[in-house]
Homo-oligomer: A and B are copies of this chain.
Amino acid sequence: LTPKRKPSSHDVAERAGVSRTTVSYVLNGRTDKAIPEETRARVLDAARALSYRSNRLANGILRGRTKLLGVVVPDLLNSFYARVLQGIHEECDRYGYSVLLTHSRNDVTAEQRRVELLMEYRVDGLVCVTYARREADIVAWAEETSRSGLPCVLLDHLPSSPLLDGVASHDTEGARTAVEHLIRLGHSRIAHLRGDQTVSTGVDRCRGYAAALRESGLPLDGRMVVGDHFLVEEGRKGLLALLDLPNPPTAVFAANDDIAEGALLALESRGLHAPGDVALVGYGNLEAMRGFGLTTIDQNPSAMGRRAVQCVLARLEDAEMIPQRILIATQLVVRRSCGASTAA
C-alpha cells in the first residue's frame, strides 16, 4: 500500500490536481498569495492522505536557513552540561529550532572536527560549551570561527578577547556569595581550593573569594589559596596540604564541586568530617553532590543555555551586533557541609 519512496510535493500536487507551486504555497501557509479555500483544502487532504512530510533539507538549501542549531559540549555525563543542554532545547523549541548535538571529549582537535561537521550540515548557528583549556587555544579558535561568519556563542569558560558572544555564570559574584556565607557563619580562616587559572571561571571565582575577604576586613593569606585544576584529585591533595598547615583553615571554598568532592575524600581519609571539622562550600551544584549534602553555588545552567540560544539567534538577525558578554546570576544552595542549620 505505502509506496517505498517518500512522497514528494510533486505527488501531492498530482493527487490534488494542482501544480507544485500551489502545493508549496498552501503547505507553507502563505497568506500573501490568496488561494481559494477549496483548492487549499484539496491540497491539505492530499498531503495528509500521502502522509507527506516537507523536506527540511531541500528547504535548507533553498532558503539558506536550516533551523538547525549546532551544539558542542565537552561531555554528556556532567550534569552541568546536561542542564545547559536542557535550557538550550527549551529555547530552541520556542523558535522551531532543532539541535544537532556533538561532544568534544575535552579535546581540541576533536572539537574542531565536530564543528567542521556541524558546518557541513549548514547549521544556522553554534553554541559551544567550552572546557578548561589554554586561553590561547580559545582565542585562536574564536578568531577562526568568527572569520567563518557563522553565528557562534561560547558558554562557560570565556576568552578575554571579545571576538565572539559569550555566556557565563556571574562567577565573581557567586564566589563572593559563597565566601560571605562562610563569613556569616563565623569563620575567619577561610581557604580557597582554586581551579585553573588559565580560564575565566577559575580566575573569577578566585577574585570573588578575595573580594569577599577584603570587604569583610579579613586578611588574605597566600598559604590559604591552593590548587590549580578543576579536578577531584587536586581537591584531595589541596585539602590535605591545608590540613597540614600550622594553623589550618576552619572553612574552605572549593572552586567547583569536583574539587569539593576531593576535599571530602581528604577529610574522610583523616577521619574528619564536614562541617564538624571543616566547613565546606563548593561551586556548580552537580547532581552527584546532592547526596553528599554539599553546600554549593547553583549556576542556573538552563538559563545559561536559554540565553545562549537567544544570543545566537539575535546575531543571526544582525551579524553586526556588538559582541555580547552575558553573565547569569548564581544562587547559594545551602546543605549540610557548611554547618548552617538547614532549618534556618
Contact = CB atoms under 8 A, between A and B. Distances in A.
Interface of A: 2, 4, 6, 51, 53-58, 60-61, 66, 68, 75-77, 79, 82-83, 85-86, 89, 98-103, 116-122, 147-149, 287-294
Contacts of A83: 76-77
Copies of this protein in the assembly total 2
Q: Which of A61, A85, A103, A121 has the most chain B CB atoms closer than 10 A to its own CB?
A: A121
Contacts of A56: 120-122
A117 to B, nearest CB: 6
Contact of A61 (B61, B98, B120): B61
Contacts of A101: 89, 99-101
B148 A51 contact: yes
A261 B248 CA distance: 36
Contacts of A100: 68, 98-101
Nearest to A148: B51
Given A53-B120, A99-B101, A149 B290 contact: no
Nearest to A110: B93
Contacts of A148: 2, 51
Main secondary structure of the interface of A (DSSP, over half): mixed
A61 B79 CA distance: 36
19 contacts: A2-B147, A2-B149, A6-B122, A51-B148, A53-B120, A55-B120, A57-B57, A58-B61, A76-B85, A77-B86, A79-B287, A86-B103, A98-B102, A98-B121, A99-B102, A287-B288, A288-B288, A291-B291, A291-B292
Given A77-B79, A89-B101, 12 more contacts: A2-B149, A4-B149, A55-B61, A56-B121, A57-B60, A57-B122, A58-B61, A68-B121, A76-B85, A98-B100, A100-B101, A101-B101
Nearest 4 A/B pairs, CB to CB: A291-B291, A291-B292, A76-B86, A57-B57
Contacts of A4: 149
A101 B82 CA distance: 13
Contact of A76 (B51, B82, B289, B294): B82
Nearest to A99: B101
